[in-house]
C-alpha cells in the first residue's frame, strides 16, 4: 500500500427533511449567496424549503448556472458577491451548480485573473465558505474539493481542486431527486460508476480493503441503478444511489492506491468541443480505454470480472473481454449510448483532442503514465 494523507471534514446531513437543518450550519450573521441552476428547484419544492431554512439569514440569489458551468456566467456571480458583500455561499443543485459555486468561492478573494485558478493551477490563499444542497446524485462534488469549469469562448473544460473549497456541509435528501428526468439519473449512475473504476481498475497495490470498498460501490450501483430508474419514487433506491455517488468520489476509495483519470480527461474534451453530457462521454470512452490498456490492467480486470460480474469460468482473455462487454452493456441498459457516433463526433475531433494533449504536455496518462496522445486517438477512434 502506498503512503497517503486523508482528510475529509465535510458534514453530511442525509435523509428526509434535512434541508430544514441547514439553518444551524450557517453562521447566524452571514450574508448568503444562494446559487442554483435552470430553475427546476422552483418547481420541485426545494427552493421553498431552502428559503424557509434561510428565513433568519440575509441572502441574495444567483440562478442560471448552466450544465458544465461557464466561467463567463460564474464571473457575474463573483461580481454580485463582491457588490453585495456576501460571505457565505449556498449551492442548491447538481454537480454543475456545486462546481460553479466552488469556483465562485475561490475567485471572489483571488488576486489576479481567476481563470488562472483553472489554466495555471494558481494556488488559493483563501476561499469563501460554502455549503450545498445536493439535488442530483452523480459527481460527488458534495463531499470533495474538486471543480470542473468550462469556458464557452475557447471550448475548454478545466479542473481545479483545493481543500479550501470543501463544502462546510452538504444536505442530501433523496426526495429532492424524485422529479429528475431519467436521463439525469442514468448519467449520474454512469458518472459514479466511472469515478470508482478510475480509482480501482489499475494494477494491484496490496490494498484489498480499498479494492473491496470500490467493488461494494460498483455492485450496489449495478443493483440499485435500474431499480431507481424503474421507480423514481423508491426512496431507498434513490438514497442508495445518492450515498454511492458520494462515496464514489470522497477520497476514501483512492487512499494508498494508483489511479487512472484518463477517461475523465478525454471525456472533458468531448464535452468542451461538442457539448455532450459528461456521463455520455465517459460511457463512450471507458470500455475502449479498458480494451486498449488491457495488458497493463490485466490483473485488476480479472478481479473485476470475478467479483463484480461473477465471471469465474473460461480462459482469462475471454473473461476480460466479457467483463468489458458487460460494462458497456450496463451503460447501454441505462439508456446511455457508448458510441460517439450517436453525438455526431467525427475524426476531426480526435485530431483536435490529440493536439490539445500534446500541447498541454499530457504525453503519458494513466496509472503507469504510458497512455500517449497517439493511444488517446486510438481509443477515441474505437469509441466512434
- The residues of the shown chain that bind a copy of itself, judged by CB under 8 A, are 1-18, 206-210, 212-213, 215-217, 219-220, 223-224, 236, 239-240, 243-244, 247, 252, 255-256
Nearer Cβ to a copy of itself (125/236): 236
Q: How far is the CB of 98 from a copy of itself (least distance, A)?
A: 18
Residue number, 224 or 269, with CB nearest to a copy of itself = 224
Shortest Cβ distance from residue 174 to a copy of itself (Å)?
8
65 or 138: CB nearest a copy of itself: 138
The three-class DSSP label of residue 249 is coil
Minimum distance from residue 70 beta carbon to a copy of itself (Å): 32
CB closer to a copy of itself out of 4 and 363 = 4
Q: How far is the CB of 32 from a copy of itself (least distance, A)?
A: 21
- What is the dihedral sign for C-alpha 46, 35, 189, 197? negative
Q: How far is the CB of 9 from a copy of itself (least distance, A)?
A: 3
Question: Who's near 237: CB < 8 A, 6+ residues apart?
Answer: 224, 227, 228, 231
17/181 with CB nearer a copy of itself: 17
CB of 23 to a copy of itself, least distance (A): 14
Which of 196/283 has CB closer to a copy of itself? 196
Find the shortest distance in angstroms from Cβ 57 to a copy of itself: 21
Q: Which of 66/251 has CB closer to a copy of itself? A: 251
Whole-angstrom Cα distance, residue 268 to residue 28? Answer: 39
Q: How far is the CB of 384 from a copy of itself (least distance, A)?
A: 35
* Cα gap 265→244, rounded to integer Å: 22
Q: Give dist(CA 143, CA 8) in Å, integer.
A: 8
Cβ nearer to a copy of itself, comparing 14 with 203: 14
Cα separation of the two ends of the chain = 37
CB 361 within 8 A of CB 317: no
C-alpha cell at 74: 460564474
Long-range contacts of 46-55, Cβ-Cβ distance < 8 Å, separation of 24 or more: 46/19, 46/92, 46/133, 46/135, 46/176, 47/92, 49/19, 49/20, 50/19, 50/22, 50/90, 50/92, 50/133, 52/20, 53/19, 53/20, 53/21, 53/22, 53/23, 54/22, 54/23, 54/26, 54/90, 55/23
174, with CB counted inside 10 A (0-12, 13-18, 19+), is: buried
Amino acid at each position: 500500500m502506498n503512503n497517503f494523507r486523508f482528510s475529509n471534514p465535510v458534514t453530511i446531513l442525509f435523509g428526509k427533511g434535512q434541508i430544514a437543518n441547514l439553518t444551524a450550519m450557517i453562521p447566524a450573521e452571514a450574508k448568503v449567496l444562494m446559487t442554483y441552476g435552470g430553475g427546476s428547484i422552483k418547481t420541485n419544492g426545494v427552493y421553498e424549503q431552502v428559503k424557509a431554512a434561510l428565513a433568519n439569514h440575509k441572502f441574495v440569489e444567483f440562478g442560471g448556472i448552466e450544465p458544465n458551468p461557464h466561467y463567463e456566467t460564474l464571473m457575474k456571480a463573483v461580481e454580485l458577491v463582491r457588490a453585495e458583500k456576501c460571505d457565505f455561499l449556498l449551492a442548491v443543485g447538481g454537480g454543475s451548480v456545486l462546481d460553479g459555486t466552488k469556483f465562485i468561492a475561490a475567485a471572489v478573494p483571488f488576486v489576479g485573473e481567476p481563470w488562472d485558478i483553472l489554466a495555471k493551477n494558481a494556488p488559493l490563499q483563501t476561499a469563501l465558505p460554502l455549503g450545498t444542497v445536493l439535488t442530483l446524485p452523480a459527481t460527488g462534488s458534495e463531499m470533495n474539493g474538486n471543480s470542473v469549469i468550462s469556458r464557452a469562448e475557447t471550448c475548454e473544460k478545466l479542473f481545479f481542486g483545493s481543500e479550501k473549497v470543501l463544502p462546510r456541509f452538504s444536505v442530501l435528501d433523496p426526495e429532492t431527486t424524485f422529479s429528475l428526468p431519467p436521463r439525469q439519473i442514468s448519467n449520474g449512475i454512469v458518472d459514479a460508476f466511472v469515478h470508482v473504476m478510475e480509482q480501482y481498475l489499475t494494477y494491484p497495490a496490496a490494498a484489498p480493503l480499498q479494492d473491496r470498498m470500490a467493488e461494494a460501490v460498483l455492485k450496489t450501483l449495478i443493483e440499485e441503478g435500474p431499480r431507481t430508474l424503474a421507480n423514481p419514487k423508491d426512496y431507498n433506491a434513490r438514497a442508495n444511489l445518492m450515498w454511492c455517488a458520494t462515496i464514489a468520489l470522497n477520497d476514501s476509495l483512492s487512499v494508498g492506491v494508483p489511479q487512472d483519470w484518463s477517461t475523465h480527461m478525454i471525456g472533458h474534451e468531448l464535452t468542451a468541443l461538442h457539448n455532450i453530457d459528461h456521463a455520455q462521454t465517459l460511457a463512450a470512452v471507458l470500455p475502449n480505454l479498458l480494451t486498449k490498456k488491457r495488458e497493463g490492467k490485466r490483473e485488476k480486470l480479472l478481479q473485476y470480472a470475478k467479483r463484480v460480474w461473477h465471471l469465474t469460468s473460461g480462459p482469462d482473455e475471454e473473461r476480460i473481454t466479457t467483463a468489458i462487454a458487460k460494462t458497456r452493456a450496463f451503460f447501454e441498459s441505462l439508456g446511455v449510448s457508448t458510441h460517439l457516433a450517436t453525438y455526431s463526433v467525427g475524426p476531426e475531433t480526435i485530431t483536435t483532442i490529440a493536439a490539445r494533449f500534446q500541447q498541454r504536455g499530457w504525453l503519458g496518462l494513466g496509472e503507469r503514465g504510458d497512455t500517449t496522445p497517439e493511444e488517446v486517438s486510438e481509443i477515441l477512434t474505437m469509441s466512434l
